[in-house]
């Protein structure tokens, strides 16, 4: 029985590529080196571009997609909502309980004596860095958007959008790369689990 759609296979390819490259990156560079490298590629355009990208994981787009599912694709409502609730539950447990107080880059690297590039007017958080909630939300939401698409390359495209949110969190100096890797894993894998649990009901969309 067919369970995983081609578009989701494409999405998973993007996810696994992101995770493997990310693990190599964080394994070979210190946190200071990671942030200096990402921070060195900046411009006023990128400041606004990645600020806009990070907003896609906030409330408006996920709620708009929720309304679309409620009107047009009700069969996806439960897995969409449940995967969000479960992944967000784990993010909050990790962020506010297990790793409560984990310093974000601006605080962790406060003694590094580096003149960091920061977006003008952007509030920079200082604690509860691990994992990234925005990245979790992005890899969750774009998973279900990918589910509605017919082609593998479209799923890869959704994965690239999710990756761009993860990168934006590091570019905007809100998270370390490791925070985004764990956030992405929670959002994507719990969505995949819901996809498998609801496989029989979702077959007509495969």
Predicted local distance difference test score (pLDDT) of residue 204: 67
Give me 85's structure tokens.
């609730």
Helical H runs in 29-176?
Answer: 31-40, 44-55, 60-72, 77-93, 105-108, 133-147, 152-171
Q: How far apart are CA 116 and CA 67, in angstroms?
A: 40
Predicted local distance difference test score (pLDDT) of residue 201: 82
State the architecture of 6-205 in CATH terms. Answer: Up-down Bundle (1.20)
Q: How far apart are CA 31 and CA 116, in angstroms?
A: 14
Label residue 123 left, alpha or beta by phi (over 0 means left) and psi (-120 to 50 means alpha).
Answer: beta
**Is the pLDDT assigned to residue 199 strictly greater than 50?**
yes
Residue 1 binned pLDDT confidence (cut-offs 50, 70, 90): very low
Q: How far apart are CA 66 and CA 52, in angstroms?
A: 20
* 67 burial via Cβ count (<10 Å: 0-12, 13-18, 19+): exposed
Q: What is the pLDDT of residues 117-131, one digit of tens each?
A: 999 999 999 999 999
| CB neighbour burial string for 148-167, b if at least 16 within 10 angstroms, e if fewer | bbeebebbbbbbebbbbbbb
Q: What is the pLDDT of residues 55-114, one digit of tens each?
A: 999 889 999 999 999 999 999 999 999 999 999 999 999 999 999 999 999 999 999 999
Predicted local distance difference test score (pLDDT) of residue 169: 98
Cα R_g (the chain), whole angstroms: 17
> Is the bond preceding 16 in cis, omega lying within 30 degrees of 0?
no
Give me the residue spans of the domains in the chain. Answer: 6-205
């Amino acid at each position: 029985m067919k369970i995983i759609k081609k578009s989701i296979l494409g999405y998973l390819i993007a996810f696994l590529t992101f995770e493997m490259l990310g693990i190599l990156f964080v394994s070979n560079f210190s946190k200071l080196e990671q942030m200096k490298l990402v921070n060195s590629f900046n411009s006023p355009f990128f400041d606004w571009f990645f600020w806009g990208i990070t907003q896609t994981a906030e409330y408006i787009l996920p709620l708009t997609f929720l309304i679309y599912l409620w009107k047009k694709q009700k069969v996806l409502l439960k897995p969409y909502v449940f995967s969000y609730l479960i992944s967000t539950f784990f993010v909050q447990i990790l962020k506010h309980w297990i790793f409560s107080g984990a310093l974000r880059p601006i605080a962790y690297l406060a003694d590094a004596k580096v003149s960091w590039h920061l977006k003008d007017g952007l509030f920079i958080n200082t604690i509860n860095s691990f994992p990234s909630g925005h990245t979790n939300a992005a890899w969750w939401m774009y998973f279900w958007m990918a589910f509605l698409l017919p082609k593998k390359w479209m799923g890869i495209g959704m994965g690239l959008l999710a990756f761009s949110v993860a990168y934006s969190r590091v570019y905007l100096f809100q998270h370390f790369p490791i925070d985004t890797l764990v956030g992405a894993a929670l959002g994507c894998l719990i969505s995949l689990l819901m996809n498998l649990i609801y496989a029989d009901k979702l077959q007509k969309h495969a």
